Chains A and B, each alone.
Chain A
Amino acid sequence: MPKTPSSIDIFKTGLWKDNPVLRQILGICSTLAVTNLMVNTLVMNAGLIFTLAMSCLTVSILRNYTPMRIRMMAQTLIIASYVIIVDIVIKAYLPDVSEALGPYVGLIITNCIVMGRCEAFAKNNPPWPSFVDGVAVGIGYALVLMAVAIVREPLGFGTLLGFRIMPEGFTPWTVMIMAPGAFFMLGIYVWIIRFYFPQTNQIRK
C-alpha cells in the first residue's frame, strides 16, 4: 500500500493538481445546472463539501471491516444517507433555495466526484487524510463552480447574489442563464488552465 501523503500535499492535489472539474472533468452535470445563480451555487457547494468529506470519513473508518465485494453497496448507502440529510436540512431552513435546486441536491448521490474519491482514496487511507482529501476536492469543485457563477449571474441576470451590479438598460444574455452558458464558461476555463498549466504527470499513483 502506498504511503499516505501529508495533509498539505493532499490539499494541494485535491484543490489544484487533480481538481475534479478542471482536470478530471467530473461533476459536470451539476456544474452546468446550478451555476446561473450564485446563491444556488453556494448552497450546492456547501452540500457537496459536506457530503464528500463525511462520506470519505465514514468510508475510511469502515474500510477495514467492509467486505471488498459489497463495498460499492456500502459506499452508495453512506453517500445517499448524507445527501438525504443535506436535502432535509435545506428543505427545512432554505425552502426557496430547495425549490430552485430541485432535483440537483438529490443528484449529489450520483455525482461521480463523491464515489470517485471514496473508491480512489478513502477506501485505502486512514480517516483523517480521507477527510482532508474530501474537503480539498470539495473546495476544488466549489471554486470552479463559483468562477463559473460569477460570470453567469451578472451577464445572465445583471445581478450578483441578488444585488443589481450591471448598469440600468443592460440587456441580459439569455444564453448565460441556460446550460450552454455554463458549457462556454467551463470550456474557456479548462482551456486557459490547461494552456498555462499543462499537466505533466497525467496519472497519479
Chain B
Amino acid sequence: MKKRLFSVFYMFLITLLFTSVVSAVKLLNEDRIERNEKLKLQKIILRVLDIPVKEKRTGRDLVQLFETRVKPIQVGDKTLYVGYKEDGKTIAGYAFPVGGPGFWGPIYGIVAVDPKATKIIGIAFYKHSETPGLGARIGEKWFTDQFKGLRLYPIEGGKKIFYLRPEGLGKNPNELDAITGATGTSRAVEAFLNQDLDYLLKKLWKSVKKS
C-alpha cells in the first residue's frame, strides 16, 4: 500500500516539475511565436490578394508591404482585410478569414474576392490537422487554384455557392473537384466555406452598393 502511494506521489511530483519547466519555456518564447504566426498570416493575406512579395524579403519588408497595401477593418465579428493596388488608393480586393470544423480538427483559411465581390481571386488554408496525403491536400495548389475565378452571386433556398464533386464529375463552373479519399474533409470544406462566404458576402455586397 505504501509503495503504491509513493508511486502516485512520485508521478504527481515529477509531472508537476516537468510541466512547470515546459510552461516556463513556452512563456518565455510566446511573444516570438505569436510574431511568427502573425507574419505568416500577413504573408498569406498578401498572397491571396495577389500582391506580389519579393522572394528575398525580410520580416520587416513584409510588415511594411502589408501595412501600406492592406488595411484591416472590422465587419461584424470578423476582420476584413482591404487590399490596395500599388497606388495605395484603388481597391485590389477584400480578404477575410474563413474556417470551421474539419474532419479531425478546425480548419482555418483566408479567401480573397475582387473589389465588386463577384468572384474569388485567391484562397488559402493555412492551419488544419487533416490527414497528410489525403485531407491535408486542401493546402495544395491544384485544390486552391480551382477556386480562382469562382463566380459569387446571392443564393437562396438551400442552394450553395459552390459544390465539391468527385474528381472530373463536375459539369457546371460552380462544381469543383473534391479530394479523392478525403470525403470527410471535402464535405467539411464545402459546408463551412459556403456558410462563411454567404455570411460575409451579404455584408460586403451591402457596403459595395453603398459606396
Contact = CB atoms under 8 A, between A and B. Distances in A.
Contacts, number: 53
B33 to A, nearest CB: 5
B58 interface: no
A8 interface: no
Interface in A39-90: 62, 65-67, 69-70, 73-74, 77-78, 81, 84-85, 88-89
B172 interface: no
Given A70-B11, A73-B11, A93-B32, A88 B26 contact: yes
Contacts of A89: 25, 29
Given A81-B22, A95-B36, A67 B29 contact: no
B3 interface: yes
A67 B6 contact: yes
Nearest to A62: B14
A194 interface: no
A66 B10 CA distance: 8
B14 A77 contact: yes
Nearest to B25: A85
Interface residues of B, number: 21
Determine the main DSSP class of A at the interface with B.
helix
Contacts of A65: 10
Nearest to B10: A67
A94 to B, nearest CB: 9
A91 interface: yes
A196 to B, nearest CB: 36
B18 A81 contact: yes
A159 B37 CA distance: 28
B126 to A, nearest CB: 10
A98 B32 CA distance: 13
Interface string B18-32: 110110011001001
Contact of B25 (A62, A77, A88, A99): A88
Contacts of B19: 81
A162 interface: no
Contacts of B32: 92-93
Contacts of A91: 29, 33, 36
A39 B6 CA distance: 45
A67 B3 contact: yes
A92 B29 contact: yes
B143 to A, nearest CB: 18
B203 interface: no
Contacts of B3: 67
Contacts of B40: 95, 99
Interface in A92-122: 92-93, 95, 99, 102-103
A62 B33 CA distance: 32
Contacts of B76: none
A78 B18 contact: yes
Interface of B: 3, 6-7, 10-11, 14-15, 18-19, 21-22, 25-26, 29, 32-33, 36-37, 39-40, 132
5 smallest beta-carbon distances between A and B, as pairs:
A92-B29, A95-B36, A92-B32, A81-B18, A67-B7
6 contacts: A65-B10, A66-B10, A74-B10, A78-B18, A88-B33, A92-B33
